[in-house]
Structure 1
Amino acid sequence: MPNGSTETRSDHAAAVRAARKARAAIRDGTLTGPTSGLAPGVEQGNLVILPADWAEDFAAYCAANPRPCPLLARGRPGDPTLPELGADIDLRTDLPGYRVFRDGTQVDAPHEIGGWWRDDLVPFVIGCSFSFESALLAAGLPVRHIALQRNVAMFTTTLDTQPAGPFRGPLVVSMRPFRPNQVDAARRITAALPRSHGAPLHVGDPAALGIADLSAPDFGDPCPVEADEVPVFWACGVTPQRALEQARPPLAITHRPGMMLITDLPLPAPAPA
């Protein structure tokens, strides 16, 4: 047990060093793309920033929809740091890309948001499926978009989320293909990680989710599904961006899909085989 604990601490320390190196590269503009595959062993997070008078309704929306919106942290008004997620984090600079919405319409897609920051803004960080990909890879399960150096494929479904106040809208899912004999392992591994969206929501026919064409994702890049594979779908933290479009707050800031906050939070220990 002592050796295992020492190894776990050492692994997490290495993951935190990788996370801080990645955040520094994002901050200085040398890392500008998707964060999938970076700093394995720590949680990545989706970002939503809203005026304080919209924050309680959005917190209620997250609570009503824990699969797409597992809340990792909620910040204080006007404070761009989240020390519980990492001592050096600055949400204005530490994601590779942002989306800025006014009244539900995107008006900017900057690489930093210092010019948009206000004292009444409240940040929320929601868990991300990129976090569980290191556990899949460690178990010998391939993650094709990482192998292809692409962003994950994300799709808007015809399934509705639970409304809360002005927030409502369709569920967004991410997709990764696996062979049928790999699906149970993928389900078991990810079910043990509820902060990262947990187990898949659906396996197989995309039409059951209202997805007409797997080669045309709404966000991210296409991911080929081979003849001996099935598509596997997880709830996705881009879901709140669809809800923001319908709620139409006067200002909202999110991450660009696939461009996450890399935190220092350790992933839970892998589920036993």
Structure 2
Amino acid sequence: MQLFNTVMAHAITWVPRALVQKISRRYIAGESLDDAVGRIRQLNSLGFKVTIDVLGETVSSIQQTENTADEYRRVLNAIQDHGLKASISVKPTALGLLLDTQHCEQLLGKIVTIAERHQTLVCMDMEDVSCTQKEIDLFANLASGHTNISLALQAYLQRTYQDLDSLLLTRSSLRICKGIYLEDRSHLVDKAWNDRSEINPHFMNHIARCFEMGTFVGVATHDIALIDQVIELARSRDIDKTMFEFQMLLGVCEPLQCKLLGMGFSVRIYVPYGKDWYAYSMRRMKENPQIAGYILQALMSR
């Protein structure tokens, strides 16, 4: 299966754009906020919480960053107006982290402030390793004045052990994922670029540290073996179910999502929307062979 997924991840480049769009409809809520609201309502009605992501992380002008910030304000208003059980996920590069760090912090600060007023959570996503320290510094600045912001950490980076040690002292909520960006191998945990299962022990170490420190943690994975280990660890340490949640992508492993929900666990679905669907779809499929396998298997079964 792993070989199949890897082959599919490489082959996906040759899939026509129109076909990628057709496939992506299961994994992306649509191009508009209205599309996303409709999808979120369905998920909420089933018992799922949601994290909303506005697609588009490559910006080349300050005006583009302003437009992205305006869209997030619209999202926050929609969450409030429709009573959605939803938080938001923000990529700092979409707000100009690599263009003007100070301006990015101002924009994100305004978003977090509005979200705080609406009692909505904001997760700051982690991007490629060239952004890691900048994003941790940005998070530290904002978390010092706000309690509704959390940070994603990538288990496949060696530095995450040290980053986690300092972040746990702040008692801020965290999100642990394996990581999907293609990196310089010198930054990665051993063999992580060859076999993603090699990341699992590191992932579990980070989850265990969050449990130990009483920090709320989002467990972001579709790996069944990992999920089973997290459940067993939580039970063995008598960790209350309110101290963690499982986070999964829209349209991926839906039976597993429902199973976890039925077991009484909190499950949050990552719901992306926007016009930049093609870049998102290609990145997800190329950089995570498992997802590419899911997508193409679903296509062949239709």
Q: Is the TM-score greater than 0.5?
A: no
Query: Higher strand proportion, which one?
Result: 1
Q: When the two structures are superposed, what TM-score results if normalisation uses the length of structure 1? A: 0.31
